[in-house]
Amino acid sequence: MLAVRFEEGKVVLHDVARPEGEGVRIKVRGCGICGSDVTILDSGFPLAGTPGHEIAGELADGTPVAIEPLAACGTCDYCVTGDTQVCVKGNAMIVGIGRDGGMAEEVIVPERCLVPLPRGVDASTAFLVEPLAVAVHGIRRSGVDGSKRVLVVGGGTIGLCAAVAARGTGAPVDLVARHPAQMAAAGQLGANVIEDAAGGDYDVVLDCAGSPEAIETSCNALKPKGTLGMLASSWDKFEIPGLVVAAKELDIVISAMYGRAGTMRDVDAAARLLGEDDAIADALISDRFPLDQAPAAFERTRDRKGGAIKVALEP
């Protein structure tokens, strides 16, 4: 079967053996390219094999499913409390990093990774469950509810998903973004696009950009005793404006991946959001490429100024 590999900073296609082993075989129908995939490609971070963690496909009987790409142990103290994102297995459990991912025709995952889809959500768009789950987890950790005034800083996929998830609580949501396509997508999703958040007096600000400028903007926009929720994936050190944070007594919440609250997995909540609004897929998916054009798809992903938001590979 055809599969993507990263080799010396390049996206390379290989004909590899079909996956074997314990778990459920998924015929991949869609795999999103995440910003972290591009970072891994550029940094040379070691992967077990095939990249790709934003995955959806079909079971052997044709049932469409999304994938929660965490093959957690299920028994450590963190897994028992629902915090599978910090399972003791670490990177080894992450599909697309520690084990083969979805940029291939097929992938095998543990049964616990399967995410049932609402009626009407097909496997070609259900890979969006994964980034939506990142946002669901982030707003849950940041304490967003309908009583909070929320700002999202950053109009990439995670920022747009954060706007969706925050609006799902009933909260009014403003968003600042850099590029016209991101602003247009935010408007489609019901967020109020603003140019300047200075002095915004927000209860919660969700940093979905991760740059020093975004962090400073976020802190300045918060009211005293407000919460900065950091959803952006950053591989570098980051700085916070110490005087502002101290003077306002801001709470800082770090959020990564997704877990479970009670009996509800973040991925299941994300699937429900996706099923409730067709505008989500229309706004987020800017490009679709066949798997054999993966190198071109990765180059397109870098073109934020040119309108790329979420680029998908379709085996």
Q: For residue 292, what pLDDT is reported?
A: 97
Residues 173 and 279 in one domain: no
Q: For residue 67, what pLDDT is reported?
A: 98
Reference 84, options 292, 268, 282; nearest CA is 268
Q: For residue 233, what pLDDT is reported?
A: 77
Residues 151 and 178 in one domain: yes
pTM: 0.95
Of 212, 232, 254, the residue that ends a domain is: 254
CA quadruple 39, 20, 312, 87: dihedral, nearest 10: -50
Residue 239 pLDDT greater than 90, yes or no: no
C-beta of residue 171 within 8 angstroms of C-beta of residue 144 = yes
Cα distance between residue 96 and residue 100, in whole Å = 5
Reference 210, options 156, 161, 247; nearest CA is 156
Determine the average pLDDT of the residues in 81-94: 96
Terminal CA-to-CA distance of the chain, rounded, Å?
10
> 174 pLDDT band (50/70/90 cuts)?
very high
For position 238, which CATH number holds?
3.40.50.720
Residues 238 and 154 in one domain: yes
Tell me what the pLDDT averaged over the chain comes to.
95
240, with CB counted inside 10 A (0-12, 13-18, 19+), is middle
Summarised one tens digit per residue, pLDDT across range 274-303 is 999 999 999 999 999 999 999 999 999 999
Annotate 42-70 with b (16+ C-beta within 10 A) or e (fewer).
eeeeebebbbbbbbbbbeeeeebbbbbbb
Phi then psi for 87, rounded to 5 degrees? -50, 150
In a domain, residue 136? The reply is no
Of 254, 272, 294, the residue that ends a domain is: 254
Q: Please state the separation of Cα 292 from the chain's center in Å.
A: 24
Residue 153 pLDDT greater than 80, yes or no: yes
Q: What is the DSSP string of 127-147?
A: GGHHHHHHHHHHHHHTT--TT
In a domain, residue 214? The reply is yes
Which residues, 6 or more positions from 204, have their beta carbon under 8 angstroms from its beta carbon? 139, 142, 143, 144, 148, 149, 150, 151, 166, 171, 222, 226, 227, 228, 229
In a domain, residue 137? The reply is no
Residue 198 pLDDT greater than 80, yes or no: no
Residue 117 pLDDT greater than 80, yes or no: yes
In a domain, residue 138? The reply is no
Residues 28 and 125 in one domain: yes
Residues 117 and 263 in one domain: yes
Residues in the chain: 315
Q: Which amino acid is at 83?
A: D
In a domain, residue 179? The reply is yes
Whole-angstrom CA distances from 37 to 87, 89, 128, 170, 187 are 21, 20, 15, 32, 27
> 210 pLDDT band (50/70/90 cuts)?
confident
Number of domains comprising the chain: 2
Residues 6 and 126 in one domain: yes
Summarised one tens digit per residue, pLDDT across range 22-71 is 999 999 999 999 999 999 999 988 898 999 999 999 999 999 999 999 99
Residues 42 and 160 in one domain: no
Of 202, 224, 254, the residue that ends a domain is: 254
Residues 127 and 159 in one domain: no
Residues 184 and 278 in one domain: no
Containing domain of residue 209, as a range?
A: 143-254
Residues 160 and 188 in one domain: yes
> 81 pLDDT band (50/70/90 cuts)?
very high
In a domain, residue 75? The reply is yes
* In the block, residue with structure tokens 């994936």: 233
Strand 114-116 to strand 106-109: parallel, antiparallel, or no bridges (unpaired)? unpaired
In whole angstroms, how large is the CA radius of gyration of the chain?
Answer: 19
For position 40, which CATH number holds?
3.90.180.10
Residues 51 and 71 in one domain: yes
Summarised one tens digit per residue, pLDDT across range 218-237 is 999 999 999 999 999 777 78
Residues 181 and 210 in one domain: yes
